Amino acid sequence: MYSVELIVNGIVLGSGYALLAAGLAVIFGVLNVVNFAHGALYMLGAFAALFLMPVTGYWLGLVLSTALMAAAGVLLHEGILRHLPPDGAFSRTMLLTLGLAMIIQNGAVLIWGAGPRQLPVESVPAGQLDLGPVGVPLARAWIVVVSAVTLGGLYLVLNRTQIGRAMRGVAQNPTAALVVGISPLRIGRFAMALGVGLAGLAGATMAPVFTVSPQMGITIVFKVFAIVVIGGLGSVPGSVIVAFAVGMLESFAGGYGSAITQSVSVFAFMILIMLVRPRGLFAREVRV
């Protein structure tokens, strides 16, 4: 029974990590931007849900939080990223997004305080889903459902739509894409909105389950970077697969070990994979 609980917990963790990792992989794959602000944007999505869900209800709050963060992604692209020169932009964007993350986090502390908060009980989906000997609270079960539906939709967008093919074209060769009439600027804007929107959705789905605080994005962003590196930078399917593997690894490492074991396990896994597969498990020539 205890192992079943750990498996369920691993799936829940993996579902949240998968949303975050997919968003980060999309941004890197299309824009070649290492977004160190991803954890801070995840935190803002959680705070948006914290304030919206008591007013609008769970589902509308989820949608509005995601939409707000997607809009923030557009603003980030239009206000900062589009103005960076392509030469040396990789190192510039790392420093820029790291600085942005620090501004967002400290701004959140200034506005909302450093203490953790929780959603009111009436804003959290009530009841539980019975899976044999294990009862899963609905708030946790919905994380898995929302993640599965969203990731399925993302797969269809990337592989079955014109804009998805355009994203893959820009990821492969922005200059060639421009020659055939695809606007890298427009595609970059959409990719940033999509990636940040996924981070916001992850934060909004996690908010009813975990405490919300300005510091909540610090640790998770490094875990998600490890996931994306293990999966292969820019590979969305690889990032999603590894996210669930890491969720399971963390759950069992924490269940049979300690909190320290749980934290160390992800990065030990990354180091091991990098020694064997330096480009990641699912790296490929065409990103996204």
Sign for the CA dihedral angle at 52, 53, 55, 57 comes to: positive
Digit-coded pLDDT (tens) for 241-263: 999 999 999 999 988 888 788 88
Sign for the CA dihedral angle at 249, 251, 254, 260 comes to: positive
Query: Is 101's pLDDT higher than 80?
Result: yes
| Consecutive H or E run containing 80 | none
CB burial of residue 98 (10 Å; 0-12, 13-18, 19+): middle
- Residue 180's contacts (CB-CB under 8 Å, 6 or more residues apart) are 169
Digit-coded pLDDT (tens) for 223-238: 999 999 899 888 899 9
Quote the radius of gyration of the chain (alpha carbons, Å).
19
Digit-coded pLDDT (tens) for 25-46: 999 989 888 899 999 999 999 9
* Contact criterion met (CB below 8 Å) for 235 and 282: yes
26: tokens are: 């999309």
